[in-house]
Amino acid sequence: ATPVALLVGTGRGAQLGILIAGPEALERASGIDRILLDKTGTVTSGRMSVTEVWAAGATDEVLALGAALEAASEHPIAEAIVAEATRRDAALPVVSDFASLEGLGVTGTINGGTVLAGRPAFAEDQGFRTGPDAASALASAAERASTVVVVAWDGEVRGVVEVADTVKPEARAAIGRAVSLGMTPVLLTGDNAAVAARVAGEVGITEVIADASPSDKVAAVERLQAAGRRVAMIGDGMNDAAAIATADLGIAMGTGTDAAKGAADLSIVSGSLATAIDAVRLSRRTLGIIR
């Protein structure tokens, strides 16, 4: 029997809500000793809400323009901004030329001008100026270790929106279990270092890679592999898909994007981090029995 046949055959995978991609899915899963974990939607709930808004002018205008762009994005940050604009009954203007840049943010044309919602560095790269008031709003957000999105138009950052979610209730115990099984967890996120450090501390992860673009996530997997490590990557986002595909064992949260699930060896139907860690353990053990 192949390892997969064993895993599927026992029905244990199905019972636990672990979907296996195909016959070759677990071929490289033995000896996993590093687990890279995406933050948003993997370690945290992924249900974000807006916690703070700074606006150069009207708060509602920042949310309306931000939400108009984000309406076409499936990122948890986008959902939070759209929900907050809806809660405030903001009327969303029409967007043309929408573009989504994975791990950076979104842009589009509104009333003839370019509008951007995304990382502060992305706004800067696109030529938007950050004035002193916006800079101090960003500094306050950093002090609070918030996830931050700037909304920019007319050449300038005109809004700073802070969003947050909470760690999954099972996350801390699941991480502890991974460590006790001899696997080192690493938090791998596109979010800023302050948020990453806070979330890592909350769940007991000591290694953190922050500000990681989708290709940085792939590079992190490859760097560990080159050092002789066997790497599992657990994620849910479009920005995780390439790293999931590169890892020796790629795991997607069933609650996540189709891109992540399509790239994965295993999908965790419920999105439970405890089940994901169990899946790694089961994958290692199943192969162990065979060999």
Q: Which residues are catalytic?
A: 38
Q: Is 133 helix (H, G, I), strand (E, B) or coil?
A: helix
Tell me the H-state helices in 43-119: 59-70, 76-87
108 binds, among Mg ion, ligand ADP, none (CB under 5 to 8 A by kind): none
Q: Is position 147 an interface residue for Mg ion (rule: CB under 5 A)?
A: no
Q: Is position 167 an interface residue for ligand ADP (rule: CB under 6 A)?
A: no
Q: Is position 255 an interface residue for ligand ADP (rule: CB under 6 A)?
A: no
User: Segment contacting ligand ADP (CB under 6 A): 26-34, 104-112, 126-134, 172-180?
Assistant: 104-112
d(C-alpha 80, C-alpha 164), whole Å: 9
Q: Is position 214 an interface residue for Mg ion (rule: CB under 5 A)?
A: no
Q: Is 268 helix (H, G, I), strand (E, B) or coil?
A: strand
Q: Is position 256 an interface residue for ligand ADP (rule: CB under 6 A)?
A: no
261 binds, among Mg ion, ligand ADP, none (CB under 5 to 8 A by kind): none
> Nearest Cα to 206, choosing from 233, 176, 181?
176
**Nearest distance from residue 190's CB to ligand ADP, in Å?**
2
Q: Is position 237 an interface residue for Mg ion (rule: CB under 5 A)?
A: yes
Chain centre distance of CA 40? 4
> In angstroms, how far is the first alpha carbon of the chain from the final one?
11
**Nearest distance from residue 38's CB to ligand ADP, in Å?**
5
Token reading at 149: 């999105």
> What is the rounded (10 degree) CA torsion for 79, 122, 165, 138?
-120
> What is the rounded (10 degree) CA torsion for 63, 64, 65, 70?
80
User: Segment contacting ligand ADP (CB under 6 A): 18-26, 69-77, 125-133, 134-142?
Assistant: 69-77
Q: Is position 38 an interface residue for Mg ion (rule: CB under 5 A)?
A: yes
Chain centre distance of CA 85? 23
Q: Is position 257 an interface residue for ligand ADP (rule: CB under 6 A)?
A: no
How, if at all, do strands 156-164 and 266-268 pair? unpaired
User: Segment contacting ligand ADP (CB under 6 A): 20-28, 170-178, 184-192, 253-261?
Assistant: 184-192
Kindly tell me the sign of the dihedral angle through the C-alpha atoms of 163, 168, 169, 171.
negative
Residue (20 or 149) nearer to ligand ADP, CB: 149
Q: Is position 106 an interface residue for ligand ADP (rule: CB under 6 A)?
A: yes
Q: Is position 73 an interface residue for ligand ADP (rule: CB under 6 A)?
A: yes
Q: Is position 158 an interface residue for ligand ADP (rule: CB under 6 A)?
A: no
Token reading at 144: 């609070």
Number of residues lying near Mg ion (CB under 5 A): 5
The residue nearest Mg ion at its CB is: 237
**Nearest distance from residue 85's CB to ligand ADP, in Å?**
13
